[in-house]
Structure 1
Amino acid sequence: MADVTNLIGRILLAVLFFAGAIQKFVDPAPVQMMITSIGLPGALVWLIAPFNLVAASCLVIGPKISRWAVVLAAYCIFTSWFHWQLRADPWQVSIMIKNWAIAGGLLILAAQGPGRYSIFR
């Protein structure tokens, strides 16, 4: 049962990053605005979108699922700061906290490993 729930959890996490990649490819402007708001070039979106696609795939099939989980946890923590908009949009703070929770789940995945159901280890 643990291996099945591990796989389902990995798929659900991957859907989040896959959807984020699609959103960035289809409508990059909002992400570009967030990126430029901290002084980075908006063109970084064109590196981040494929990164999200690759990361989503690697969470499900590998390789190095535990390492990808750590990288994505760090990514979630870093990107959570884009949502610290307490005065402008308090709802964004809940997105920030969700990013932290996702990072926590990814760290648990990193610690536990992919279980039996992965193509690569």
Structure 2
Amino acid sequence: MKQISPLIARIFLGQLFLLSGISKIQGYDNMQGYMNAMSVPGELLPLVIILEAGGGLAVIAGWQARRVSIALGLFTLVAAAIFHNNFADQIQLIMFMKNIAIAGGLMLLAVHGAGAYSLDQRRSAVFASP
């Protein structure tokens, strides 16, 4: 279980970003309008999609997991501050706290690395071979 649990955790974290990126593609115009309404330039949406979908895939695969986790963690904190800052609305407060928890999971991944069954470990094993 010790070897498989990092993979399971990466799948749980990564799928959230992968599916979010895909849903932004499917609802591109609506998301761009929402971003503009929140004073975030809608022109940044392609970068958000690349970060979410690409970052989600990278986390799942365990590729550059430390770096990607830091980037996604910072992105998640910024998104929480911009999009979920109305604490008078209980749903927004819950979504803010959810983002904080996700950032915490990403911090753990950044500190401990991708673990077994990851491209990072495979790469380390290849370069460690005599």
TM-score normalised by L of structure 1: 0.88
What is the match of residue 68 of structure 1? 68
What is the match of residue 84 of structure 1? 85
Gaps of 5+ in 1: none
Give the conservation status (yes or no) of the 8 Å contact 2:15–2:60.
no
Amino acid corresponding to residue 16 of structure 1 in structure 2 = L
SS of structure 2 residue aligned to 1:2: coil
Choose 1 or 2 for highest CA Rg: 2
Q: 1:46-105, CA deviations, whole angstroms, 9 ceiling, x for partnerless residues?
A: 221122111011102243111111111111100002111234x43111011100000001
Q: Which runs of 4+ in 1 moved over 6 A?
A: none
Amino acid corresponding to residue 86 of structure 1 in structure 2 = F
- Aligned-residue identity in percent: 30
Amino acid corresponding to residue 55 of structure 1 in structure 2 = G
Shift of 1:112: 0.9
Structure 1 vs Structure 2 CA RMSD: 1.7
Query: How many residues are treated as equivalent by the alignment?
Result: 120
Q: Distance in 2 between matches of 1:14 and 1:45?
A: 19
SS of structure 1 residue aligned to 2:114: coil
Q: Distance in 2 between matches of 1:41 and 1:80?
A: 16
Gaps of 5+ in 2: 122-130
Shift of 1:31: 3.0
What is the match of residue 126 of structure 2? none
Give the conservation status (yes or no) of the 8 Å contact 2:10–2:62.
no
Amino acid corresponding to residue 83 of structure 1 in structure 2 = H
Q: Distance in 2 between matches of 1:15 and 1:67?
A: 17
Amino acid corresponding to residue 105 of structure 2 in structure 1 = G
